[in-house]
Amino acid sequence: MKVWASIHKNNKVIARCSEESDLEDISEALLACLEKIYKELDIAEPVWVTKHAKELSRFGTTKFYPSDFIEPVSFDYFEVEYQIQ
């Protein structure tokens, strides 16, 4: 699995990174990649709700807005995409 993430502010990408995982369980692979991405981008973990899981499952991408974070953030949204290899 490969996961891409980007942080957007004022219609511009201000940071991005990607991570890969060879774990066979898709959920575990996604979580492992996301933990690395949060650390690399130095952001708090957003609150995952059903909307995010459905979008990721259906479209392979989802967006997290400032209201999805417990801590204040200085960007417009955080986008996550994934692809199973």
pLDDT in tens, 20-74: 999 999 999 999 999 999 999 999 999 999 999 999 999 999 999 999 999 999 9
Please tell me the predicted confidence (pLDDT) of residue 11: 95
DSSP letter at 5?
Answer: E
Please tell me the predicted confidence (pLDDT) of residue 38: 97
Q: Around Cβ 19, how many Cβ atoms within 10 Å?
A: 20
CB burial of residue 33 (10 Å; 0-12, 13-18, 19+):
buried
Tell me the whole-structure pTM to 2 decimals: 0.92
Q: Is the pLDDT score of 85 beyond 90?
A: no
Where are any strands of DSSP class E within 10-52?
Answer: 12-20
The pLDDT of 5-30, averaged and rounded, is 96
